[in-house]
Amino acid sequence: MRSDTVKCGLQQAPHRSLWNALGVTKEEMEKPLVAVVSSYNEIVPGHMNLDKIADAVKLGIAEAGGYPVLIPAIAVCDGIAMGHVGMKYSLVTRDLIADSTEALVMAHQFDAMVCIPNCDKNVPGLLMAAARLNIPTVFVSGGPMLPGHVGGKETSLSSIFEAVGARQAGTMSEEELEEYEEFGCPTCGSCSGMYTANSMNCLTEAIGMGLKGNGTIPAVYSARIRLAKHAGNQVMELLRRNIRPRDIITERSIRNALTVDMALGCSTNTMLHLPAIAHEIGFDLDMRIANEYSARTPNLCHLAPAGPTYMNELYEAGGVYAVMNELSKLDLLDLDCITATGKTVGENIKGAYNRNPEVIRPVENPYSRTGGLAVLSGNIAPEGGVVKQSAVVPEMLVHEGPARVFDCEDDAIEAILGGKIHEGDVVVIRYEGPKGGPGMREMLNPTSAIAGMGLGSTVALITDGRFSGASRGASIGHISPEAAVGGPIALIEEGDIIKINIPEKTLNVDVPEEVLAARRKAWVPRKPRITSGYLARYAAMVSSGSRGAVLEIPE
């Protein structure tokens, strides 16, 4: 066992004395050492139950003959961090999570690992760490929140953000807004729609690193505790069989995940995280390949914010395996990929069935014949920009209008809430990319304000930043190259006509090339907003959003 390095032999007597100091018995030292990497904290609602998940995982490991050791991973609550400087610190934690997990596991020579993430960045961060460390690993998340109920309707976090815009517009009373505050997020768990956390937890099943139900069993269901015990059992089986993350996370399984992504209608953030995970195994996943998968993959689910259903309903309808079984009818999945169950994808989904054809549409009757995401290209976005097309109203699939240009999110929100944005406008928010932000802030506040003020079917928004999975509408993010490195989005001027055509996958500014060339010649880089600390180091090392915003050593 790898952990013998820190437990066995004459030279390890000091090490054993420290194990003794921890209360570890001689018998326990003879067992495989298994890291239980828990993102538990008391600031993220999706993580407040992870202590119970970790306890169950530890029981499962011990029952199967391992010695579990709890170690931490950080996490940010994107909702609490939204709309202020804190959001600069969200995406950047993905790499801190991967790096710190690598450091702890390598320093103590663990034999295997169970990862317990839940919310947005610690799911991909721990997947990156698993691929990097390549020791037997199973994922078990904390599970999704149940939807809230306001005025007889189911609600989620995005409903509350949009309620702020409605209150600002005078179409909602203070008392109604308070009702949303009180009842919108009723339980622990990752917010209840197909937002980034739930998207990535579902895709962990599709990639093969999570067991059945990992993405959909609600956080408050006892089935989640049983799943955690099984995860602890299963990691010991993977250790016995020497099945490792790089046997599971392969180019083939990532392509499976991209297909499932299109069927589920996942968050646009998956177009940052799947390339970053692929990068860890040496696979260059260009986000523009998404259009190829979208063209052949039907969109089977319309979960909030794209539709009226929530994660608990997806669970009850059969979950991710039922979606994958539908896709297998069209031969869209590689069924031979090995998974953390020890079985292949085909063996896992055999017998899974769709219990609710309204929540999971059959492939014969999809919501659309194409997938949930699209990548647009053109003279604004030579390297692409991402939109959740399944959450765009039909009348906004093709749109053109005057640019309303803002060099940061804060100025745009002020203009939107101040009534300065009008029907037909295209809001442009730039210098919010990975380098320019730095940190590539999510734009849930402006998209929700647009929707809440009744402009969701007439106003588009484009940015080199990114969007929360809770965003909906003609919201096009990750525009690359970003403004901070001189990308064409930096050259747009107030009043320029922006042309968006989602079916044709194009995004252009209607300005002659010679005019753009003159603007490019006159363009002057902005001084960095932040020049010290982690964000400054991040800005110096981060790649384009089109490549997953991965960290690279500067040449």
Q: Which of 468, 471, 475, 546 does the annotation list as catalytic?
A: 468
Candidates 332, 251, 254; CA nearest to 299 is 332
How far apart are the C-alpha atoms of 356 and 300, rounded to whole Å? 11
How far apart are the C-alpha atoms of 96 and 511, rounded to whole Å? 41
How far apart are the C-alpha atoms of 233 and 227, rounded to whole Å? 10
How far apart are the C-alpha atoms of 461 and 475, rounded to whole Å? 5
Cβ atoms of residues 520 and 446 within 8 Å: no
Question: Within 10 Å of residue 81's Cβ, how many Cβ atoms?
Answer: 20
Secondary structure letter of residue 528 according to DSSP: P
How far apart are the C-alpha atoms of 100 and 129, rounded to whole Å? 9
How far apart are the C-alpha atoms of 236 and 242, rounded to whole Å? 9
How far apart are the C-alpha atoms of 157 and 540, rounded to whole Å? 33
- Residues with Cβ within 8 Å of 336's Cβ and at least 6 positions away in sequence, in order, are 252, 344, 345, 346
Q: Is 468 a catalytic residue?
A: yes
Cβ atoms of residues 471 and 159 within 8 Å: no
Question: Within 10 Å of residue 514's Cβ, how many Cβ atoms?
Answer: 8
Tokens of 497: 């006509």
Cβ atoms of residues 384 and 480 within 8 Å: yes
Secondary structure letter of residue 221 according to DSSP: S
How far apart are the C-alpha atoms of 136 and 112, rounded to whole Å? 5
CA distances from 377 to 17, 65, 74, 542 (A): 60, 53, 35, 22
Task: Assign residue 189 a region (left: φ > 0; alpha: ψ between -120 and 50; beta: otherwise).
Answer: left
Cβ atoms of residues 324 and 330 within 8 Å: no
Tokens of 537: 């180091």
Tokens of 107: 């320093």
CA distances from 442 to 63, 261, 432, 494, 550 (A): 42, 20, 9, 23, 17
Candidates 331, 355, 351; CA nearest to 343 is 351
The residues annotated with a catalytic role in the active site are 468
